[in-house]
Chain A
């Protein structure tokens, strides 16, 4: 078991953004976390990466308890992430952005840059390596987020809406990229809005709604689950949901 999140709860004041969620990720998985806006999937995601402290629950990574570990510690253990709104290192070149990731495993700057170049080629940014990162548009920045994370040679890559804001063509290319990364031996957890991405990419999906997990299974299973349809589209008819 690579990631084992148990009974994770995150409160903002009295509001339960994530309510007792338990998710496990095995090596080689591509797991999708989906749900309507405000379902708590991004909050849950940030609990996994260490960006937000949990209110209660535990998170284990490859057998180590990382519940209270800061993000940098998790990165060292092999947990890399992208940000929903890209946090590009604006003052640097594209290459230097990726180098920051590569320096985690290659302490020598020269070696790290070689590694960074290799990763940039892999994600299709090789041609722009020497351009200033701030000259990149949204698709380029999203790609750079992934390159940076990959350069840190992670076991798991957590993608937070890596495809939001892309055109359909760009989405298809990005899906292809994630597939290649997965084929290269990296476990993937992806938070996504776009059903297309989830159905074409993932094997297993966990559906969040109002901070709770309401369904899990293959993409086909969950998309036909009445709870999920209800969460996304609202009730078809009045009925008593005594059990939920």
Chain B
């Protein structure tokens, strides 16, 4: 038990000082920041996709809204991009409500398909809008004007900004998980009909989860824009973004607090590696890798990697499965 605490402490310290350990190699610093950014997106997806079991494959909509809000704040209002972040979050919550009210009535695959459709629709629309830069996209500040532009050469500031956002998001998720809403989301995931019979307003709770999830996915998009300084329809609204969030969460463990982070820790380095080895032409390989991972998880580890470490306190009492509960109250 103390060993467990010790490992947790060591991990925490490692996460906190990671940029200093990699001072000599900016590539690894940047990799650390990218992992955290991906973890923010996947953890945001996890709220509705993991806990509530509503598998959205259209979360790029919110990521894109966040990224475009940030760049529009700069291009059209001459403000630091990060000013667009809260606006993007608000807009995303609104859009989530508009999409969610009709689509969350659909169950299972039908919901997923509807979200794909909406995602693609938004991507196509965004590429026809001149105000959003059309298919070319828009760029942020070429040179940082003030520190508020959040435009840095080093990846270290991004690392800590992303870490703070991720910590906040996971803290909030943890708090939700343990409260009424967390119980209700899991109940909806297991059996919506049973949940409703016990007074759970399933529609309302799914919508809350969807809106909350959208807000933080949007924030991830705004942060992305700050770091990369450029967005176009494919990198903002592309379906691969949505798929990545799903796969990362599923790989680590959907519906588990640290599942998406674990998934990001594995997938982001794999993706960076395949990009650097294969260059721009290898972009398609990423799809192949994700496809393979989906197949492997679905076949061997439907509950994700974290399920391997789950402690099973009841495993030593197999009698439970055969015990007649009625005999328990014979007194």
Contact = CB atoms under 8 A, between A and B. Distances in A.
Genuine A/B complex: yes
A71 B326 CA distance: 29
A125 B325 contact: yes
A137 B187 CA distance: 20
Contacts of A123: 329
A137 B314 contact: no
A152 interface: yes
Given A109-B183, A125-B325, A152 B198 contact: yes
Interface string A217-231: 000000000000000
7 contacts: A89-B194, A92-B187, A103-B180, A124-B328, A125-B329, A128-B328, A143-B326
The CB with the most chain B CB atoms within 10 A, among A89, A92, A123, A132, is that of A89
A120 to B, nearest CB: 10
Interface string A184-203: 00000000000000000000
Interface of A: 49, 51, 70-72, 75-76, 80-81, 83, 87-92, 96, 99-101, 103-104, 107-109, 112, 123-128, 130-132, 135-137, 139-140, 143, 148-149, 152, 169-170, 173-174
B30 interface: no
Instruction: Report, as a range, how many residues of chain B touch the other chain.
Output: 20 to 34
Contacts of B191: 87-90
Interface string B173-204: 00000111011101101110111111111100
B46 to A, nearest CB: 15
A103 B183 contact: yes
A80 to B, nearest CB: 7
Interface of B: 178-180, 182-184, 186-187, 189-191, 193-202, 313-314, 317, 320-326, 328-329
A99 B198 CA distance: 10
A72 B199 contact: yes
Contact of A131 (B197, B201, B320): B320
Given A72-B201, A72-B202, A135-B314, A100 B195 contact: yes
A71 B325 contact: no
A70 B201 CA distance: 9
Given A80-B197, A87-B197, A149-B198, 11 more contacts: A87-B191, A89-B187, A91-B190, A109-B179, A124-B325, A127-B328, A131-B314, A136-B321, A139-B324, A148-B198, A174-B326
Contacts of B178: 109
B304 to A, nearest CB: 13
Contacts of A109: 178-180, 182-183
A81 B197 contact: yes
B199 A152 contact: yes
Nearest to A94: B325
A112 B202 CA distance: 19
A83 B328 CA distance: 23
A143 B178 CA distance: 26
A79 B313 CA distance: 36
A174 B324 CA distance: 13
A125 B328 contact: yes
B186 A91 contact: yes
A99 B195 CA distance: 11
A170 B330 CA distance: 11
B329 A132 contact: no
A89 B317 CA distance: 21
Contacts of A149: 197-198
A92 B198 contact: no
